[in-house]
Structure formats: structure tokens, C-alpha cells
């Protein structure tokens, strides 16, 4: 085999890993923190460029079938890189403002994203396991970034204990699948497997591991607590990049490892989990006053919608899932970004929705942007969130899962209440006291505006740089 060729297929992760190592050295030698930030941005832009190149490249497997490239895998790498880049961009001012801007943060993010890309492109259970763990270790650390305050350490502790606990199940699942088939490579497993109890139990436990990472109900309990205790911009990172990676890996597992085997029927399971996730996520989100917690529950609900597409199990459904992940990434980072901007102002506690009264008029661009992102999260046309929902629900209907789609529509209907509540406070309530907002930095502001434009752009006519995005994605299946 040609290592260089293989390395080329894994280039985004390689760039990020190398950049992470350099970032650590820079931190060790006390480089100016702004330089580390700039360096990280440059590295991520390079990685993004490479990953966009890979979107149009061939597909296959590399490194002795350890990883896949091209197609869905390339899309996963692209999504992770995109999400990481925007999260890093919005992080600097925010971490500075909350006084937790450490040099090592950027290295941790880069390492975490390396793991995510590894996870998203994995073609072997071993690679999957290591990708998940590399990602998780970094996330555990980032969850505890608010040092010296109780909530910071608490969220990290919850995350690490429950995460490691779920790792146990994930690893057990891999072990049982390995026992049943004598292999870990997806293709070989698919060829050797039969629907024995051993294999089924292994698949079940593997799925448990996934369900934890994508915070599906009832494996979701850590999500709101961890999201609340984590610095907001990194919460965005948790909610988008890591979720996208996990979902893409799940798509690969479901489409490459499971379907060849007779007697393994996942639709019903995925349906039940999807229904639970949509209902519970939306219901609890309704009663939240903390905006971050509200978004955490909403992200649980969104995981439910994505599971609808997975339950459909058709190429159409997987296409919908990929599109939804893209939509979800841009609109969610946007929403968290605006909230992070508000939080930079210490005049009030801007995680409490009551303090958003009249805020939409303070710095109109930010208010409008937040509204755009929230409308998109509701799934109102013509924003990208609507198309995402449309694709997954339509796929479910076409696969005969009408009930599931109807429940999905109803559940997303309920979500109007809590998203709208934020907007009502933004525009229709009088502020309690007078205060001034800080001006957002140029990079911060323009990247959020860019996300807002993307949210609208891909909701109206999804033209990717060269081709319709959905057409491009559908070629991956």
C-alpha cells in the first residue's frame, strides 16, 4: 500500500492533529494567545479547504480498510471541520470575556476534532472506538473549562463518569460483534454475520454507545447539565461537531455493516427511540428558563428528528440525515454564537430568558440573526431547518413510517412555543433596566452574518459552490 496516498485521504484529520501538536508547543513556550488562535484558524481553514476538495473526490477505503474516504465519510469530515472552524472563530472573544481563555483550549479542540473526523470516517470498529474516545476525552476536558466554579467541574464530572460508563457498553458491543464474526472491519462483519443472539446483542450495545453520544432518550440525561456548565461557544462545539461526527459514523455503521444481514431489523428500535427523543426533548424544553438548557433540550429533540431519517433506513433517509446535520450545524452554531455574544455582557445574566427583554433592539443585527436561527430551528420555511425536516420526514413517509412522521411534525409543532418565547422577550418586552451592550468584534460579527446568510441560502435554493447540495449529498447514497 501507498502510505502517502492513504494519508492524502485522511488529510483533514492529519492537518488538525499536527496543528494540535504545534499548538501545544506554542502553549508550552508561552506564545501570545492571539497567535495560537490565529494559527488554529489558519490550520482549520486549510483543513476545510482540503475537506471540500475531498467532497468531490473518489471514494474507497484506506489504511487496510481502517478508514473510508469520499462520499458520506468525506461529508462527515467536512461537517466536523466546518463546525469546528466556526466554533473556534466565535470562541475567542467569548472565552476572553468570561475569563477562561487558556492557551491549551485550542489544542484540545484540534485534538477533539481529529478524533471526530476519525470517528466520522471510520470503516472499522477499532477505528470507531478510538475516534469516539479521542473525541470524548477532549470534550470531557472542555466541559470542565469554567474552572474555579462549581458548575464547571460538575458538568465535567457528569460527562466523564457517564461517558466512560457508556464506553463500557460500547466496547462490550464491539466485543460481542467481534466474537460473533471474528472481525471488526465493517465489510467483513457484514459478510460473516448472521442474526444470532450474540450478534444482535452486540449491535444493541453498540447502538447504546451511539445513542449516548447523540443524546437520544433515555441516554440523554447528561446533555442539559453538561451543556449548561460548559462555556457557550464550546457547547456549540459539543452540540454540532461531535453530534455530526457521531451521526455520520452511525449512518456508516447502519448502511455498511448491518443491512446485508438477514433477520436484523432495526427500524422498530430506531422508531421507538426517535419518538421518545422527540417527545421528551420538546416537552422538557418547554419549561426551561435557561436559554442554554433550552437549547440543550432542543438539541435532544433535533437528534430525534434525525433519528426519523435513520429509521427510514433508505438512501433517501440517509440523504435527509446528512442534509439535516448540515442544516443543524450552521443554525445551531449561529444560535449559540448570538447567545455567547449576549453573555459577554456582564450587565445581566444572559442565560436567563427573562433578561432578554427588549434585547432585540439593542444591537439589531444580533437580534435579527438570533431570530433567523430560531426560525430555522423551528423549521419554518424558507430557512434551512425546514428543508432538513422536510427531507427526513418525507423519507419516513416514503418508507411507510407515516405515524412516525406525523409524531415528528406534531413534536416539532410543540417546539414553536419555546423558540417563540425567546423572540417574544427579544422584541415584545420592556427591558428591566438600562445597560449598554459591547460591540461584537468584526470577525465574530461577520462569521455570524455568514451563518445567517447560509441558513437562508440553503433554505431557498441549495446551490452548493458548484451543484445543488442535496444532489451532491444524494450521490453519496
Cβ–Cβ under 8 Å, residues 81 and 51: yes
DSSP state of 257: I
Rg (CA), the chain: 21
* Residue 253 within binding range of another protein, rule CB under 8 A: no
Separation of CA 171 from chain center: 22
Site for another protein in 294-333 (CB under 8 A): 314-316, 319-320
Size of the site for another protein (CB under 8 A): 145
Candidates 39, 56, 60, 154; binder of another protein (CB under 8 A) is 154
Site for another protein in 401-440 (CB under 8 A): 402, 405-406, 409-410, 413-414, 416-417, 420, 424, 427-430
Candidates 39, 97, 431, 474; binder of another protein (CB under 8 A) is 474
Question: CB 221 → another protein: shortest distance, Å?
Answer: 4
Q: What is the phi-psi region of residue 472: left when phi exceeds 0, alpha when psi lies from -120 to 50, beta otherwise?
A: alpha
* Residue 343 within binding range of another protein, rule CB under 8 A: no
Site for another protein in 111-140 (CB under 8 A): 111-112, 114-115, 118, 124-127, 129-131, 133-134, 137-138, 140
* Residue 39 within binding range of another protein, rule CB under 8 A: no
Q: What share of the chain is helix, strand, coil (3-state, %, to 5)?
A: 75, 5, 20
Question: Nearest Cα to 426, choosing from 337, 301, 339?
Answer: 339
Q: Is the CB of 428 or the CB of 435 nearer to another protein?
A: 428
Question: CB 158 → another protein: shortest distance, Å?
Answer: 6
Residue 105, judged by CB atoms within 10 A of its CB (0-12, 13-18, 19+), counts as buried
* Residue 42 within binding range of another protein, rule CB under 8 A: no
Q: Is the CB of 138 or the CB of 325 nearer to another protein?
A: 138
Question: CB 34 → another protein: shortest distance, Å?
Answer: 10
* Residue 272 within binding range of another protein, rule CB under 8 A: yes
CA distance 387 to 384: 5
Collapsing DSSP to helix, strand or coil, 418 comes out as helix
The contacts of residue 420 (CB under 8 Å, 6+ apart) are 374, 378
By CB under 8 A, which span of 37-45, 191-199, 247-255, 439-447 interacts with another protein? 191-199
CA distance 16 to 144: 22
* Residue 190 within binding range of another protein, rule CB under 8 A: no
Candidates 78, 86, 169, 356; binder of another protein (CB under 8 A) is 169
Question: CB 264 → another protein: shortest distance, Å?
Answer: 8
Cβ–Cβ under 8 Å, residues 66 and 88: no
Site string for another protein, 46-85 (x = CB under 8 A): -----------------xx-xx------------------
What pairs with residue 468 in β-bridges?
463
Question: CB 438 → another protein: shortest distance, Å?
Answer: 19
CA distance 202 to 212: 16
The contacts of residue 146 (CB under 8 Å, 6+ apart) are 98, 100, 152, 229, 230, 231
* Residue 287 within binding range of another protein, rule CB under 8 A: yes
Question: Nearest Cα to 234, choosing from 400, 374, 101, 365?
Answer: 101
The contacts of residue 25 (CB under 8 Å, 6+ apart) are none
Measured from the Cβ of residue 455, the count of other Cβ atoms closer than 10 Å reads: 24
* Residue 102 within binding range of another protein, rule CB under 8 A: yes
Q: Is the CB of 59 or the CB of 104 nearer to another protein?
A: 104
* Residue 254 within binding range of another protein, rule CB under 8 A: no
By CB under 8 A, which span of 42-50, 69-77, 173-181, 445-453 interacts with another protein? 173-181
Question: CB 388 → another protein: shortest distance, Å?
Answer: 11
CA distance 428 to 440: 23
Measured from the Cβ of residue 281, the count of other Cβ atoms closer than 10 Å reads: 28
* Residue 450 within binding range of another protein, rule CB under 8 A: no
Site string for another protein, 370-399 (x = CB under 8 A): ----------xxx----x--xx-xxx-xx-
Question: CB 196 → another protein: shortest distance, Å?
Answer: 7
- Match 425536516 to its residue by C-alpha cell: 389
* Residue 472 within binding range of another protein, rule CB under 8 A: no
By CB under 8 A, which span of 41-49, 98-106, 239-247, 328-336 interacts with another protein? 98-106
DSSP state of 219: S
* Residue 8 within binding range of another protein, rule CB under 8 A: no
Cβ–Cβ under 8 Å, residues 44 and 447: no
* Residue 25 within binding range of another protein, rule CB under 8 A: no
* Residue 461 within binding range of another protein, rule CB under 8 A: yes
Question: CB 48 → another protein: shortest distance, Å?
Answer: 19
What is 168-179 written as a DSSP string? HHHHHHHHHHHH
Site for another protein in 200-239 (CB under 8 A): 200-205, 207-208, 211-212, 217-219, 221-222, 224-225, 228-229
Amino acid at each position: 500500500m501507498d502510505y502517502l496516498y492513504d494519508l492524502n485521504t485522511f488529510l483533514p484529520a492529519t492537518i488538525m492533529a499536527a496543528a494540535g501538536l504545534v499548538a501545544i508547543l506554542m502553549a508550552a513556550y508561552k506564545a501570545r494567545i492571539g497567535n495560537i488562535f490565529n494559527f488554529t484558524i489558519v490550520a482549520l481553514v486549510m483543513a476545510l479547504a482540503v475537506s471540500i476538495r475531498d467532497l468531490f473526490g473518489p471514494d474507497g477505503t484506506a489504511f487496510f480498510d481502517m478508514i473510508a474516504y469520499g462520499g458520506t465519510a468525506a461529508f462527515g469530515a467536512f461537517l466536523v471541520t466546518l463546525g469546528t472552524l466556526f466554533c473556534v472563530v466565535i470562541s475567542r472573544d467569548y472565552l476572553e470575556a468570561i475569563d477562561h481563555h487558556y492557551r491549551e483550549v485550542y489544542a484540545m479542540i484540534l485534538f477533539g476534532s481529529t478524533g471526530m473526523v476519525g470517528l466520522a470516517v471510520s470503516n472499522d470498529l477499532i477505528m470507531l472506538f478510538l475516534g469516539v474516545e479521542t473525541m470524548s476525552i477532549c470534550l470531557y476536558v472542555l466541559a470542565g473549562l469554567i474552572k474555579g466554579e462549581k458548575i464547571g467541574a460538575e458538568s465535567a464530572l457528569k460527562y466523564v463518569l457517564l461517558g466512560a460508563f457508556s464506553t463500557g457498553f460500547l466496547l462490550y458491543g464491539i466485543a460481542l460483534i467481534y466474537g460473533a464474526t471474528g472481525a471488526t472491519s465493517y465489510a467483513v462483519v457484514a459478510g460473516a454475520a448472521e442474526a444470532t443472539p450474540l450478534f444482535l446483542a452486540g449491535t444493541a450495545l453498540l447502538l447504546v454507545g451511539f445513542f449516548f453520544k447523540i443524546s437520544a432518550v433515555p441516554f440523554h440525561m447528561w446533555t442539559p447539565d453538561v451543556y449548561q456548565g460548559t462555556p457557550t461557544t464550546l457547547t456549540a462545539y459539543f452540540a454540532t461537531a461531535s453530534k455530526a461526527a457521531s451521526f455520520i459514523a452511525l449512518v456508516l455503521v447502519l448502511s455498511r455493516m448491518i443491512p446485508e444481514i438477514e433477520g436484523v431489523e432495526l427500524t422498530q428500535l430506531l422508531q421507538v427511540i426517535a419518538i421518545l427523543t422527540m417527545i421528551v426533548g420538546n416537552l422538557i424544553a418547554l419549561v426551561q428558563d435557561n436559554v442554554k438548557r433550552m437549547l440543550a433540550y432542543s438539541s435532544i429533540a433535533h437528534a430525534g428528528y434525525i433519528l426519523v431519517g435513520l429509521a427510514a433506513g433508505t438512501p433517501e433517509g440517509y440523504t435527509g440525515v446528512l442534509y439535516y446535520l448540515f442544516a443543524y450545524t450552521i443554525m445551531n452554531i449561529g444560535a449559540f454564537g448570538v447567545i455567547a455574544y449576549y453573555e459577554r455582557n456582564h450587565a445581566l445574566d444572559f442565560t436567563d430568558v427573562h433578561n432578554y427583554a427588549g434585547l432585540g433592539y439593542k444591537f439589531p443585527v444580533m437580534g435579527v440573526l438570533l431570530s433567523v436561527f430560531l426560525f430555522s430551528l423551528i423549521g419554518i420555511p424558507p430557512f434551512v431547518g425546514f428543508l432538513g425536516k422536510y427531507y427526513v420526514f418525507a423519507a419516513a413517509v416514503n418508507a411507510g413510517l407515516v405515524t412516525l412522521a406525523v409524531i415528528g411534525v406534531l413534536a416539532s409543532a410543540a417546539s414553536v412555543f419555546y423558540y417563540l418565547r425567546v423572540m417574544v422577550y427579544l422584541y415584545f418586552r420592556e427591558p428591566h433596566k438600562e445597560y449598554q451592550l459591547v460591540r461584537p468584534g468584526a470577525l465574530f460579527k461577520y462569521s455570524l452574518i455568514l451563518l445567517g446568510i447560509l441558513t437562508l441560502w440553503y433554505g431557498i435554493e441549495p446551490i452548493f459552490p458548484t451543484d445543488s447540495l442535496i444532489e451532491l449529498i444524494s450521490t453519496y447514497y
